[in-house]
Amino acid sequence: MAADIIFLHAPSVYDFRKKPIFYGPVSDVVPSSPVFEMYPIGFMTMSAHLEDAGFRTRIVNLAVRMLQSDKFDAERKIAKLNSKVFAIDLHWMPHAHGALEIAKIVKKYHPDSIVELGGFTSSYFHDELIQRDEVDMVMRGDSTEMPHIKLMGTLAKDGDLSDVPNLTWKDKGGKVHVNPISNIPDDLDWLKFDYGTVIRKSLRHGIKDSLPWLGWDKMPLTSVLSVRGCSYNCAECGGSHSANKRLLCRNRPAFRSPEKLAEDMSAIQDYLRAPIFIIGDPRQGGKDYAERLFKAIRERKIKNHVAFELFAPADEQFYGMAEKALGEYSMEFSPDSHDERVRTALGRNYDNAAIEGTVRKAFDNGCTRFDLFYMTGLPEQTRDSAMDSARAAKRLWELVGKDDKLYIYNAPFAPFVDPGSRAFEDPESFGYTFFARTLEDHRKLLDNPSWKHVLSYETKWMTRDDIAETSYDAALELAGIEYQCGRISKDAYEQRVERTRTARTLMRKIDEILIIKDAHERERELWNVKEEGERLMQSTVCNKKDLDWDTGSIWSNAPRVISGLVKNVFRR
């Protein structure tokens, strides 16, 4: 079936199945695999708006299909697709290889179709992207739903693309045009946020193509969007206030009203009995915003489990409102380091007492799960500082009950420092040295066989080797403390230690292989360790299953899905 626009999501590296790659722990603390098969939530919102405007859309998650089966032929799949526009996300840097390779394949089989790139990374490198033969357009900005409707309408009439906001494009003669980023909405209440769009597409085209990430159908996790932009200015974040201003011309965050956010949650609840993650700290919108949100949640009678994101420690009043509205809930918080000097360098100005207080108060007020994240490879962070972050877990676990689900993770800050962030723009001030500055530099790094050599940076305090070795040392330290504190069994501890030590040995083995001068012998030896590397793709230094929420599969939700689709028809 022909489409007007097909959204394609690529794996981080194409074709990862045909390359000897050792991913290491780069995705241990996110739901997706090291292939980064999770597509951005913008696919859903853009598709919903375009469908409402009368355009036929489709989402094809090539990365998931490639993970599902070694026999899946991505090139053949692309060749069979039929669309006027192929929109490929290059949102975060880890897709710099896969997105561009997929673009080449699309252009190979569909030379008359338009290949469009979009997302944060695309916005930053739009002038470099548009010079590539396989790229016809780059859509910039964080809110491109309306620009896409304008784009598709203009293309349907063969009109003048100069009127399309946020668009970088080439005309038929190859001349590059850069339209201003003029679509910068002040709020998000206009946004159509409908999981029904994805469900209907799954029924129309098959669920395999449109899964948000591998395994989502067995353990679905949903999310709602409270904000675009950010009021915080963390040094290493490509979504920070300064990065938004630099990349996307956004001077202040755009919020979805608490009432609309609760409405989104209610709509999800109509379809799925699945956890809902609220993207963005609700306190960013001010005290009144959080109060209104919890009031709206109560009024909407949200029963699904809800997870909140904290950008700074929370007080007892916030947790009390959450408990009153939901009874039970979860929290995610990323101090990144226990070292106050490191956090200050990052732009996070709160002390360790505040971290301890926010963890303790959460469990005193209805929180049933708290995920806390530390990283290795940060400004001002020495090896000793990184190791002490792992050791700091003991104090936090001692503050809460034995049965309280406090999960503490320690992983490398990898693989790239975000373009547009303060650290990327001014590396010397933050003690960074970069091995990649352009998009092409990053694309080449991703083709390395070991995660250590993909790292785009080292710091004044730790080299690439130091960051990699310390990441494994910190993981072993954390596992030992977790076992001592009675948080994991002896078997689980021993398995974690075995995997971490095996992963370190494999990393060192690859280092030895890479110095082999004969290219054929070097390639042969790399292929000899590929199977072991794939075995360690998941849960290298953390137990990735800790990230899972208890939930039923989408199949167990089938009656609710049908009911939700019917309700959606009447809402329309």
Domain ranges within the chain, ordered by starting residue: 3-178, 221-547
Question: For the ranges 54-63, 159-168, 186-195, 204-213, which has the lowest average pLDDT?
Answer: 204-213
The model's pLDDT over 113-145, given as tens digits with 9 standing for 90+, comes to: 999 999 999 999 999 999 999 999 999 999 999
DSSP code per residue over 275-290 = -EEEES-GGGG-HHHH
Q: Which residue has the higher pLDDT, 29 or 208?
A: 208
Phi-psi region of 434 (alpha: psi -120 to 50; beta: other; left: phi over 0): beta
| pLDDT tens, residue by residue, 367-421 | 999 999 999 999 999 999 999 999 999 999 999 999 999 999 998 987 999 999 9
**Euclidean distance between CA atoms 291 and 324, whole angstroms:** 11
Is pLDDT of 425 > 50? yes
For 432-463, the DSSP string reads EEES--SHHHHHHHTTSSBHHHH--EEESS--
| CB neighbourhood size of 185 (10 A) | 16
Whether 84 has a pLDDT exceeding 90, the answer reads yes
Second CATH level (architecture) for the domain 3-178: 3-Layer(aba) Sandwich (3.40)
Tell me the per-residue pLDDT of 435-468, one tens digit each, with 9 for 90 and over. 999 999 999 999 999 999 999 999 999 999 999 9
Question: DSSP string of 26-75?
Answer: TTTTSSS-TT--PPPTHHHHHHHHHHHTT--EEEEEHHHHHHH-TT--HH
Query: What is the reported pLDDT for 567?
Result: 58
**Nearest CA to 194 among 141, 145, 147, 230?**
145
For 8, the 3-state DSSP assignment is strand
User: What are the angstrom distances between the C-alpha of 86 and each of 117, 118, 137?
Assistant: 9, 11, 10
Task: Choose the weakest-confidence range: 48-62, 382-396, 518-532.
Answer: 518-532
pTM equals 0.92
Terminal Cα-to-Cα distance of the chain (whole angstroms): 25
- Structural domain 221-547, CATH architecture: Alpha-Beta Horseshoe (3.80)
Mean pLDDT of the residues in the chain: 92
Greatest C-alpha distance within the chain: 68
